[in-house]
Amino acid sequence: AQSVTQLGSHVSVSEGALVLLRCNYSSSVPPYLFWYVQYPNQGLQLLLKYTSAATLVKGINGFEAEFKKSETSFHLTKPSAHMSDAAEYFCAVRASLGGSYIPTFGRGTSLIVHP
Amino acid sequence: GAVVSQHPSRVICKSGTSVKIECRSLDFQATTMFWYRQFPKQSLMLMATSNEGSKATYEQGVEKDKFLINHASLTLSTLTVTSAHPEDSSFYICSASTDRGRYEQYFGPGTRLTVT
C-alpha cells in the first residue's frame, strides 16, 4: 500500500522568496518519488524524480527535492520564486522495481506567487 | 524526450452522445497507457490501465461499459465516453509508458470534456 500527503492545498510566496512544498509518503516497499507541475488546462510535466540513487535530486526550472527516509518526506524547494512558477504541484509515489508501477498522487498544492 | 499527444484538446458534446478521445505516443512504443480523470482543483484519479492488445483493467467504481478503452496499437489508445451526461464533464489525461509502466510515465496535455 502507498499514499501521499501534501501539506497545504495552497502556498503563497513573494517573488524571489524561498519555495517549500511539503510531501510525506508511506509505502510498504522502497519507493520511487516524483514531483509534477501542472499549468492551467495542461497535462502534467515531470519536475524531478527520486529512484534510489542520490537523495538530493535536482530537477528542471531550479527545483530540487530531498528524499529523507527517516522522515518519510520528499519536500520540493526552490531558492527564489518566479512569477512563472505559479501552478499546481503534485507529489506522487510508486513502488520501485518489483512492486506496482501505478503511482499514487497527492491532492496537489497550488503555488501562488505575488509580485 | 518522449512525447504524448491527445486529441481533441477540448470537446463539447450534447447529453446522450458519445465522444472519443485519442492518446498517441509520438516517438516511442507505449506498451501501457493509463487514463486519468481530474476534477477541478483535485488530484488525478486513475480510471484504467491498458496494455497493448489486451483488455483494459478498470479501477474500482469506474464503469467499463461507459468508458470504453481500446489500445489497438503500440502508439494509440482511445477512450470513448458513451451516452455522456453532464456529470462526465471533466479533464481527462492519458499517460504512456514502456514496459508496462516499469519506468517513467509520460503524460499527455489533457482533454477538457464538457457535456451540455
pLDDT in tens, A79-99: 999 999 999 999 999 877 665
* Contact between B5 and B108 (Cβ < 8 Å): yes
Query: CB A90 to CB B110 under 8 A?
Result: no
pLDDT tens by residue, A19-31:
999 999 998 888 8
Instruction: Give the pLDDT confidence of B30-79 residue by residue, as tens digits.
Output: 888 999 999 887 888 999 998 888 889 999 999 999 999 998 899 999 99
Distance to chain A for B112, nearest Cα, Å: 8
- The residue of B21, B37, B43 whose CB has the most chain A CBs within 10 angstroms, and thus the best one to mutate to test that interface, is B43
| Min Cα–Cα distance to chain B from A74, Å | 18
CA pair distance A3, A91, nearest whole angstrom: 10
Substitution target from A44, A93, A104, A105 for chain B, most B beta carbons within 10 A = A44
3-state SS, one letter per residue, for B57-83: EECCCCCCCCEEEEEEECCEEEEEECC
Closest residue in chain A to residue B5, using alpha carbons only? A43
Preceding amide of B40 cis, omega within 30: no
How many whole angstroms separate alpha carbon B48 and alpha carbon B33? 9
- Which residue(s) pair with B25 in the sheet? B4
